[in-house]
Structure 1
């Protein structure tokens, strides 16, 4: 049976962030993920998790100036010191929250001529951060993101990400497979998952093309959920979608799997 985690950056967004933990638990979720925890003290978040019996399954490293449009630091030349500081900060939170995996956002390509240099920076930063996380038993994730949701994002396809895994060979480096992004960029989701399953460390879902509930749009998620079960995937599935209305009103898809 798949294990589903509510993405609290997107679900239950009719209430303040700290109130979403209780709403997620009441709706039947056993785990939560979100973009960033850094506006809150680790102890405050840990208390919410404990009170509501929730597992923290994922969050992102600090992404740079998110409000100004930055979407990660890992591939940005000249920002290496800032990236390393972000790794330390994320580890502090992960240990406090019992979170076993962290996602390092790559950043945006603003000048295509710099892409080779960015790739060198990306590989070096991933090598460094994977080894730092390994000291604490943590897994590092990278995620291809579609060019429509985040134009210019450095890495866009599953094959790119898994080639990086093979090149670096770090045992705790894995790829985040978001079926929403993968469907937009490449489709063929069954074959994509089967091809890369060994390197997949986390899965996320949303309806395509509008990023609403996974019972809308062109992707047959019940089929994919059965596929994941049959393939022995035992990780979490993050529900990273924009509800059409009140989150609870759109959870009919979740009832058979709760």
Structure 2
């Protein structure tokens, strides 16, 4: 198996270029991040070149964080902001050769929100296609993100089908699926044709994958058996220095 360090959580006390170097030194095969926009793209690109790692993915901006935004793309009336965030993410991804962008839906509900999300995703897919970028959508569990528009893999699959774009895929986060739907491996087998990236963390505390309700040794072995060959994203919240939580990486 290969693994990607999600630098939104791992080494997040370091400047992003330094976190990339730390991930390389720890033995990760790739990196990914949440919102890199405050760091000049050329600095990130230089760190990626130095380490030989690839930045696998980043997120669109959440919006106005002080007002509680957690994404914009399913919110009726905010299409201009949503598409500006999409354009920004695509430009940044292009600058650092990142193949995936997670388009964040935000807090919304109802048919108008669905229509808004579908239209914005079509815009994102069409705009990203020229650069060979895949657009990802990720269901977030209602315990961590109550009211988030996208909450389970069935809903995500229906939206992917409705959008009808080849470069729209599912971000399958084992943690969120474990919290909301359970049966992580069963859901993964069913969803695999739609999956563009896989992430993981312990359930239910979102810590390192060496404890909790999900046996990740079994999960990793099954993912390998399914023929998945891309790095798996370690998106967990360390309760101490990141280096002290990496025992699982050596054994995996």
Q: TM-score, normalised by structure 1?
A: 0.94
Residue aligning to 2:60:
61
Query: Which residue is 1:24 aligned to?
Result: 23
Q: Contact 1:201–1:235 at 8 Å: present in 2 too?
A: no
Q: What's the counterpart of residue 169 of structure 1?
A: 164
* Contact 1:61 1:105 survives alignment (8 Å): yes
User: C-alpha displacement at 1:14, in angstroms?
Assistant: 4.1
Is 2:231 aligned against 1:224?
no
The Cα of 1:12 is off from its aligned counterpart by 1.7
Gaps of 5+ in 2: none
**Contact 1:174–1:201 (Cα < 8 Å) also in 2:** yes
- Unpaired stretches in structure 1, ≥5 consecutive residues: none
1:142 counterpart residue number: 137
Q: Distance in 1 between matches of 2:15 and 2:182?
A: 35
Give the drift of 1:18.
Answer: 3.3
**Deviation sequence 1:27-71 (CA, Å, 0-9, x none):** 001211111111011111111111122110000012212343211
**Distance apart, 1:16 and its partner CA:** 3.6
TM-score (norm 2): 0.96
1:176 offset after TM fit, Å? Answer: 0.3
Choose which of 107, 118, 124 in structure 2 pairs with 1:129. Answer: 124
Tell me, in whole angstroms, the C-alpha distance in 2 between the residues paired with 1:156 and 1:120: 16
For the residues of structure 1 that align with 2:196 and 2:13, how far apart are their CA atoms?
Answer: 30
Corresponding position of 2:98: 99
Once residues 236 and 126 of structure 1 are traced to their aligned partners in structure 2, the CA distance between those partners, rounded to angstroms, is 25
Note the alpha carbon deviations across 1:47-96, whole angstroms, 9 max, x for none.
11111221100000122123432111110111111111112111111111
1:206 and 2:194 matched: no
